[in-house]
Amino acid sequence: MYAILTGDIVGSRRVETQKWLPHLDDALQYYTDNYDIFRGDSFQVAIPLEKCIEAIFFIKASMRCIEPLDVRIGLGIGEITYWDTHIKNSMGEALINSGEAFDRLDKNYIHVQSPWTEWNEQTNIILQLATELANRWTFNMAQTISTIIKNPEANQQEIAHLLNKKYQSQISTELGNASWQKIRIAIEYCTQQLLRQC
């Protein structure tokens, strides 16, 4: 079973490409080298199952570090029957599910599709609520969250140092305002339920 994210950058035409493309590259490369960026602001990436939901919010945080950008992502779970050197030319259930999940986004920023209907329904409800919280992230919140995800072993004092913040309390405040603990619980719960299905 594989996890494929299909996404695009919201507001990309309002910011010069050279300002946001390195952030997208860095976010995708944090998890894998197996990705494609195409049609200017669209991308597909294969992510390890245990990190696929975290990756959605990491990419979102990375993009929200550049105002007024955001990201829409469809997550597809399934088998891959053919791997091409370019993921967008590969074939299989995971890619079909990812494309269909992306097509169903409508006004939502995240949608998932897998072979398991119950997991899909439950996860889409939870992630839509988590995304509503994440849609409120400011630059400082997004920067703090992306740094925490990239440095999972670091404490808040160390995160403050990495971000050149004077006080650890600034990190605590940003995380609280960003509802990060609630979002993190949602990520972990949906990931655990996914791994139980596989």
Is 75 inside any structural domain? yes
Is 86 inside any structural domain? yes
Q: Read off the DSSP letter of residue 11.
A: T
Alpha helices in 65-116 (DSSP H): 93-103
Looking at residue 127, its pLDDT comes to 97
Looking at residue 32, its pLDDT comes to 94
Q: Tell me if the bond preceding 68 is cis, omega within 30° of 0.
A: yes
46-95 pLDDT, tens digit per residue, is 999 999 999 999 999 999 999 999 999 999 999 999 999 889 889 999 99
Total structural domains within the chain: 1
Res. 39 pLDDT band, cuts 50 70 90: confident
Is 13 inside any structural domain? yes
Between CA 108 and CA 121 the distance in angstroms is 14
Looking at residue 107, its pLDDT comes to 83
Res. 138 pLDDT band, cuts 50 70 90: very high
Between CA 8 and CA 72 the distance in angstroms is 6
The candidate with the shortest Cα–Cα distance to 69, out of 148, 138, 145, is 138
Res. 181 pLDDT band, cuts 50 70 90: very high
Is 139 inside any structural domain? no
Angle between helices 52-64 and 117-134 (to 10 degrees): 20
Domain that holds residue 65: 2-115
Backbone angles phi, psi at 105, to 5 degrees: -60, -40
CATH of the domain at 77: 3.30.70.1230
| Three-state SS at 1 | coil
Is 148 inside any structural domain? no
Is 82 inside any structural domain? yes
What residues contact 85, with CB distance under 8 A and at least 6 apart? none
Looking at residue 88, its pLDDT comes to 84
Looking at residue 106, its pLDDT comes to 81
| Three-state SS at 14 | helix
Whether residue 144 has pLDDT greater than 90: yes
The CA distances from residue 152 to 95, 155, 170, 195, in Å, are 29, 8, 18, 20
Is 47 inside any structural domain? yes
Looking at residue 188, its pLDDT comes to 98
Contact status, residue 70 vs residue 107, Cβ threshold 8 Å: no
Is 42 inside any structural domain? yes
Between CA 35 and CA 133 the distance in angstroms is 27
